[in-house]
């Protein structure tokens, strides 16, 4: 039975809360949610339980289609999602050993992302929800990246559970965000990019330096990391013999909470005009790739330290950790540099929390998990809900502002 809801909302929910959806709120067994993701170039389906077990996590990549375009081609991506989504869904159900009747909800990435790409997971989820009567949950992609560490926290692997309030860095192909997270649904934007994202600039640099994506198993960012730091951070400090000085990059917005990557990248473009990559010696190319990567990460480190200092000066409550997620957060050099910088700047005890690399990049397990958190609070979308290519994270649950949430039953759910 649905519980406490203002009358107006209860009436508007009546049309899409089906008998199957009502059963969810009275069931004592763990809930099971199917998540679908197709906001960019990965077609994903995953099944997650309210006990935080990932029963299936299917990711079908499209890099073979996009590499020749030097980036994601929106129409080809949409078409590939249309071909792959049914495959991903049936594979996830098979791996989990479940039929659709066992699902308690269907979650999908509602946004932000590429509109046509989002329409594929939205359409598939709506059709499944309509056919089965299961609740539909349209999830904010960046909220899902930010909350992934709650899904992956484990005493076995020592992965800590974040505690609110914490800072969140979301570093992906579309975003460069520094947020203050106060609860699972309350995020304030402290800094965002004024031009392109860190992921987009990394991808373009990998393309301009002609680094094959295969080096990073299909990801240009991972390829740039492997190429620039084949032996890790420590081994990369000595310059090769007879190399010109490494390029230097001017950082934007000194002492302001704002990111910008266009300047760094155009400095690199200018360098490549005088030293075409096709004629560059491998060692020089590596030196340039390293210098760019370290400058890109330094900007992240600077802004985090600046935000921490600013919050302290303003007498704000201290944050209890820094969560870093999104595809770029899988970069091991960035992880190491951030820890070193926090230690040096006077925050050696601040927990620095990254999801495992495979769950930093796009996946549907994070979508299913946030769908579960929503389901447990009774925050369900109508079947008429539409995808949103632009969707600010501070509005991630704004549609439910008038709904009194149902108290989460599961002890594994973070406080709301
Ligand atoms: O979160 P994500 O998988 O998709 C979006 O929501 O955009 O992030 C993709 C971005 C791409 O720019 C990709 O090249 C970058 O994350 N990326 C990396 C690494 N792995 C993926 N960037 C740097 N180092 C990596 N190891
Ligand atoms: Zn993402």
348 has a pLDDT exceeding 50: yes
Residue of 63, 196, 327, 357 to mutate, ligand 1, most atoms within 8 A of C-beta: 327
247 has a pLDDT exceeding 60: yes
Residue 7: pLDDT band (50, 70, 90) is: very low
Closest-lying ligand to the alpha carbon of 227?
1
Contact 57/364 with Cβ under 8 angstroms? yes
Pocket lining: 112 vs ligand 1, CB cutoff 6 Å: no
pLDDT score, position 208: 95
Mean pLDDT across 319-346: 97
Closest-lying ligand to the alpha carbon of 205?
1
Picking from 398, 407, 403, the residue whose alpha carbon sits closest to that of residue 379 is 403
**Distance of CA 175 from the midpoint of ligand 1 (Å):** 10
pLDDT score, position 412: 53
pLDDT score, position 4: 32
122 has a pLDDT exceeding 80: yes
Taking only the tens place, the pLDDT of each residue in 176-197 is 999 999 999 999 999 999 999 9
- Ligand 1 atom closest to the Cα of residue 219 is 14
CB atoms within 10 A of CB 401: 9
The H or E element spanning position 295 is: helix 282-313
- How far apart CA 136 and CA 52 sit, in angstroms, is 19
- How far apart CA 187 and CA 393 sit, in angstroms, is 7
Residue 252: pLDDT band (50, 70, 90) is: very high
Pocket lining: 41 vs ligand 1, CB cutoff 6 Å: no
Which residue owns the Cα nearest ligand 1 atom 21?
Answer: 327
3-state SS track over 38-80: CCCCEEEEEEEECCCCEEEEEEEECHHHHHHHCCCCHHHHHHH
- 404/222: higher pLDDT: 222
Residue 11: pLDDT band (50, 70, 90) is: very low
Mean pLDDT across 285-298: 97
237 has a pLDDT exceeding 70: no
Closest-lying ligand to the alpha carbon of 261?
1
The H or E element spanning position 31 is: none
Mean pLDDT across 261-276: 95
Which residue owns the Cα nearest ligand 1 atom 25?
Answer: 222
pLDDT score, position 402: 84
CB atoms within 10 A of CB 99: 9
- How far apart CA 352 and CA 335 sit, in angstroms, is 9
Token pair in block for residue 353:
């929390």
Residue 157: pLDDT band (50, 70, 90) is: confident
- How far apart CA 176 and CA 251 sit, in angstroms, is 15
**What spatial distance separates the first Cα and last Cα of the chain, rounded to whole Å?**
21
- How far out from the chain centre does Cα 375 lie? 20
Count helices and strands in the chain by DSSP H and E runs: 13, 10
Pocket lining: 197 vs ligand 1, CB cutoff 6 Å: no
Mean pLDDT across 123-151: 98
Look up the pTM and report it: 0.92
Burial category of 3 from C-beta neighbours within 10 Å (exposed 0-12, middle 13-18, buried 19 and up): exposed
Token pair in block for residue 367:
């979508």
- Ligand 1 atom closest to the Cα of residue 333 is 24
Taking only the tens place, the pLDDT of each residue in 57-75 is 999 998 888 888 888 999 9
167 has a pLDDT exceeding 70: yes
379 has a pLDDT exceeding 50: yes
Starting at the edge strand found earlier in the chain, the sheet holding 166-171 runs 186-191, 176-183, 166-171, 322-325, 352-353
- How far out from the chain centre does Cα 413 lie? 19
Pocket lining: 225 vs ligand 1, CB cutoff 6 Å: yes
CB atoms within 10 A of CB 328: 29
Pocket lining: 381 vs ligand 1, CB cutoff 6 Å: no
Taking only the tens place, the pLDDT of each residue in 13-52 is 444 566 666 666 667 789 999 999 999 999 999 999 999 9
Contact 190/198 with Cβ under 8 angstroms? no
Pocket lining: 37 vs ligand 1, CB cutoff 6 Å: no
Residue 404: pLDDT band (50, 70, 90) is: confident
């Amino acid at each position: 039975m649905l519980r406490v809801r203002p009358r107006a909302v209860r009436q508007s929910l009546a049309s899409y809360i089906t008998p199957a959806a009502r059963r969810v709120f009275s069931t004592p067994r763990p809930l099971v949610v199917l998540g679908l993701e197709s906001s960019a170039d990965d077609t994903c389906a995953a099944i997650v339980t309210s006990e935080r077990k990932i029963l299936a996590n299917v990711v079908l990549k499209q890099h073979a289609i996009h590499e020749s375009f030097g980036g994601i081609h929106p129409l080809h991506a949409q078409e590939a999602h249309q071909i792959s989504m049914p495959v991903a869904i049936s594979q996830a159900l098979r791996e989990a050993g479940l039929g659709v009747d066992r699902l308690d909800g269907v979650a999908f990435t509602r946004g932000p992302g590429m509109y046509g790409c989002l329409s594929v997971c939205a359409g598939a989820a709506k059709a499944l929800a309509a056919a089965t009567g299961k609740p539909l949950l349209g999830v904010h992609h960046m909220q899902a990246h930010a909350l992934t560490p709650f899904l992956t926290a484990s005493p076995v692997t020592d992965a800590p559970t974040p505690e609110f309030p914490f800072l969140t860095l979301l570093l992906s192909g579309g975003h460069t965000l520094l947020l203050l997270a106060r609860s699972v649904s309350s995020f304030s934007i402290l800094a965002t990019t004024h031009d392109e994202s860190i992921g987009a600039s990394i991808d373009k640099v990998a393309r301009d330096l002609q680094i094959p994506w295969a080096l990073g198993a299909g990801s240009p960012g991972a390829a740039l990391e492997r190429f620039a730091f084949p032996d890790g951070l420590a081994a990369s400090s000595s310059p090769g013999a007879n190399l010109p000085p490494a390029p230097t990059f001017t950082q934007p917005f000194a002492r302001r909470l704002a990111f910008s990557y266009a300047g760094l990248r155009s400095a690199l473009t200018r360098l490549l005009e005088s030293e075409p990559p096709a004629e560059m010696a491998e060692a020089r190319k590596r030196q340039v790739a390293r210098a760019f990567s370290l400058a890109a990460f330094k900007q992240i480190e600077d802004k985090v330290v600046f935000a921490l200092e600013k919050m302290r000066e303003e007498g704000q409550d201290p944050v209890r950790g820094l969560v870093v997620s999104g595809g770029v957060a899988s970069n091991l050099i960035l992880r190491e540099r951030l820890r070193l910088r926090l230690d040096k700047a006077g925050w050696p005890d601040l927990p620095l929390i990254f999801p495992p690399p495979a769950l930093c990049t796009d996946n549907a397990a994070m979508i299913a998990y946030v769908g579960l958190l929503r389901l447990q609070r009774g925050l369900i979308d109508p079947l008429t809900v539409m995808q949103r290519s632009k969707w600010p994270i501070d509005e991630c649950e704004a549609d439910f502002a008038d709904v009194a949430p149902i108290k989460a039953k599961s002890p594994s759910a973070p406080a709301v």
